[in-house]
Amino acid sequence: MLIGFGHFFRLARAGFILAREGVFKSVDPAILPVPAQFLLRFGNLLAKPGSSAGGAPQALVRAFAQIGPSYVKLGQFLATRPDVVGGEIADALTALQDRMEPFGRKAAVEIIEKAFGKPIDEIFLSFGEPVAAASIAQVHPARVAYAEGERKVAVKVLRPDVERQFRRDLADMYILAHAAERFSAEARRLRVIQVVDTLARSVKLETDFRLEAAAASEFRDNVADDPDIRAPGVDWDRTTREVLTLEWIDGAPLSDIARVAAMSHDLKDLGRKVLQSFLRTAMRDGFFHADMHQGNLFVDRKGRLVAIDFGIMGRLGFKERRFLAEILFGFITRDYKRVAEVHFEAGYVPPIHSVEEFSQALRAIGEPLHTANAQDISMARLLTLLFEVTALFDMRTRTELVLLQKTMVVAEGVARSLDPSLNIWRTSDPVVRSWIEDNLGPKAKLEDAGRAAIEVAKFTTRLPKLLNDAEAAVEMLASAGTKGLRLSEDSLEGLARARRRADRWFMLAVVLAALLAIHWMR
């Protein structure tokens, strides 16, 4: 009962804040059951004056920021799912900032010492006060003695009791999701319970810093030879589930453009680096940073971008990378027929539709982009329109492509903040063209043919054994069909033991049932 009251009061508080900020004002009562219509009208009476400023999307941002860190994390997650909340709300939620009061150096030291089982002085030469704090963790500067000398590091420490808090709030969200799917066909269509499931998995991954360390390490290896971007090194000896130690980044965040400019960096060139680095890691590596806002990108003294915070990453298989590259290249070269064919070849659009009709719909998207000014062209907007059109042709939502599209929105926004006149087509073209030449051109086809020939040769060497095994299996089945299936003595004894165990449990159940019956008859 106490648990029930806890859910009720927390949900009531969240509902009150949402109503006070005017989130429900734009909801159509007609789509709700009658009892919910009454609650909606009552909630709208609680809206404070001026709460309609910015509409429902901005109201939702304000409300989530007030309710607490779990809802901030929910908002950040929903910002990657425009298929669920719509493009306008998703874009607004992108602005949610995950900032919290730090929990203090003393508590951080206790967590570190417990995680490593030794005093803080045996782990770090020095350990400073927190310099940044969010809902899941905070960051401290520290110094470490390595074989090559003393170096400064960044130590990320898990917030105390954060997992219990997220479990509690996720339980509340599950109650709402189940209620929504029970009473709303639209909620069932959007699979709201599955959305909370995905958020729960995301939080679980983000609260284990060993996984973030692995993502940072993989990303660093992938971009090791890139001239435009790098990632901090991981100190695995000082990393546990609750603690992550990384190389300290000596640079300026892209959120502080004035500081970046004061360091004499070329802002236009940085804009190019942001967009091309994102496309290169997505298409070449199939592993991209899915939270590329200004606060997660620094520029070092050499003018190289440095990515941090690898809690949210995206992956693309080869088929998805080919899909992305050919679509972008098709729009760049105005080959809409090829873009349509790629959708059909990938199996994204059912074959009941016409390639020609789909090509015509794609032309309606692409042609206006080629007549627009460079600063008005948006690749993220292109993908948004593309998903809207493909929905008309029964293309099912691909979560990895939706995450890619939202990341592109953010990366493009960062690039445009550095260079408002950035030409998206011209900047993207060399990266996309290079990937196509390396992976889909004549050289790649020869390599694919060579790999296929090797696989055929391997299969040929195994063919005699496969045929012998198949012949033996057929003979065994034929013998079993005419003579019956023969079991070894060990197999028969095993079956007998299993039967005796089942009989004993059955007799025990009968005795218990009889005793209960006698008790109740008294």
Question: Which residues neighbour 122 within 8 Å (Cβ) at sequence distance 6 or greater?
Answer: none
Q: Are 320 and 355 in contact (CB under 8 A)?
A: no
**Separation of CA 350 from chain center:** 26
Q: What is the C-alpha separation between 336 and 370, in angstroms, rounded?
A: 13
Angle at 308 between CA 307 and CA 311, to 5 degrees: 120
H or E element, residue 507 = helix 489-521
Q: What is the C-alpha separation between 258 and 234, in angstroms, rounded?
A: 30
Compute the half-sphere exposure of residue 484: CA atoms within 13 Å on the CB side of its CA. Answer: 2
Q: Are 267 and 222 in contact (CB under 8 A)?
A: no
Q: What is the C-alpha separation between 229 and 301, in angstroms, rounded?
A: 13
Name which of 284, 317, 278, 298 is nearest 406 in CA terms: 278
Q: Are 406 and 282 in contact (CB under 8 A)?
A: no
240: tokens are 């546990």
Q: For this structure, is 291 an active site residue?
A: yes
Count CB-CB contacts under 10 A for residue 71.
Answer: 22
Q: Are 279 and 271 in contact (CB under 8 A)?
A: no
Radius of gyration of the chain (CA): 29
266: tokens are 């070329």
| Residue 293: strand, helix, or coil | coil
Residue carrying structure tokens 């030469």: 125
User: What's the DSSP call for residue 374?
Assistant: G
Name which of 40, 224, 205, 87 is nearest 136 in CA terms: 205
Q: Are 28 and 56 in contact (CB under 8 A)?
A: no
Selecting among 91, 169, 291, 309, the annotated active-site residue is 291
Residues belonging to the active site = 291
